[in-house]
Amino acid sequence: MAKDVGNVIEAMYGDLPPPIMLIGHSMGGAIAVHTASSNLVPSLLGLCVIDVVEGTAMDALNSMQNFLRGRPKTFKSLENAIEWSVKSGQIRNLESARVSMVGQVKECEGITSPEGSKSVVEGIIEEDEDDEEGSESVNKRKKEDDMETKKDHPYTWRIELAKTEKYWDGWFRGLSNLFLSCPIPKLLLLAGVDRLDKDLTIGQMQGKFQMQVLPQCGHAVHEDAPDKVAEAVATFLIRNRFAESVGGFQCVFPGC
């Protein structure tokens, strides 16, 4: 996936890409770090990682399957999915949830049109007529129940994250040292200082990167407090002379 980032930038700009700053959240932050450390973007100026730390990420993997099983599998509507994301605390900004949740769900397969639903149901019925075994009747009822559920709850998750488990360890293991080794200015935005692991704590004390904690945010920091994240990134750009202040923008330098 890190190579994909480099390939996309090359496809967009060819051999002369403009100055670029990579910003990634959670798993996207891991991809940004791997992209930067592999020098896949020659014109890379800076790196911003939002609320992903190797230590806490690795600890969280143990309970990730339970977390995924606790999510609704389907939703009655897009509005229902948006409402769940806010009420569950995954996103604390309703306006942002209305944008981001739309891309995370899709219509259940087989019910996008009345004809599609009919053909699936008819196929189930015909299969039952051909089989006399009781187990087949059970399977038929289960399929019909699933179809009814899809009719009442026509939206489901676009990505089945549980199936990507074998990759989870590789996304985050060694991430802190990779981040620290990137020879460019770095910004780490966190929802809480308790998320820092040992390597990053030492690196922060040595001044190897700029860190800013944005309180009263959940994991989706950039969604819960988009104005504060934009301000932090703008200040980082100006502080490192990657950009100039315009329109009376006042830099707010964090204490760490």
108: DSSP letter: P
The answer to whether 26 is a known catalytic residue is: yes
Q: Which residue among the candidates 25, 26, 37, 176 is catalytic per the annotation?
A: 26
Are 253 and 232 in contact by the 8 Å Cβ rule? The answer is: no
Task: Say how far apart CA 87 and CA 72 lie, in whole Å.
Answer: 13
The answer to whether 88 is a known catalytic residue is: no
The answer to whether 34 is a known catalytic residue is: no
Task: Say how far apart CA 190 and CA 211 lie, in whole Å.
Answer: 8
* CB-CB neighbours of 150 under 10 Å: 19
The closest alpha carbon to 155, from 78, 70, 71, 97, belongs to 78
The closest alpha carbon to 155, from 100, 79, 88, belongs to 79
Tokens read off for 154: 């026509």
Q: Which residue among the candidates 25, 34, 153, 219 is catalytic per the annotation?
A: 219
Q: Which residue among the candidates 25, 34, 37, 51 is catalytic per the annotation?
A: 51
Catalytic annotation, residues = 26, 51, 219
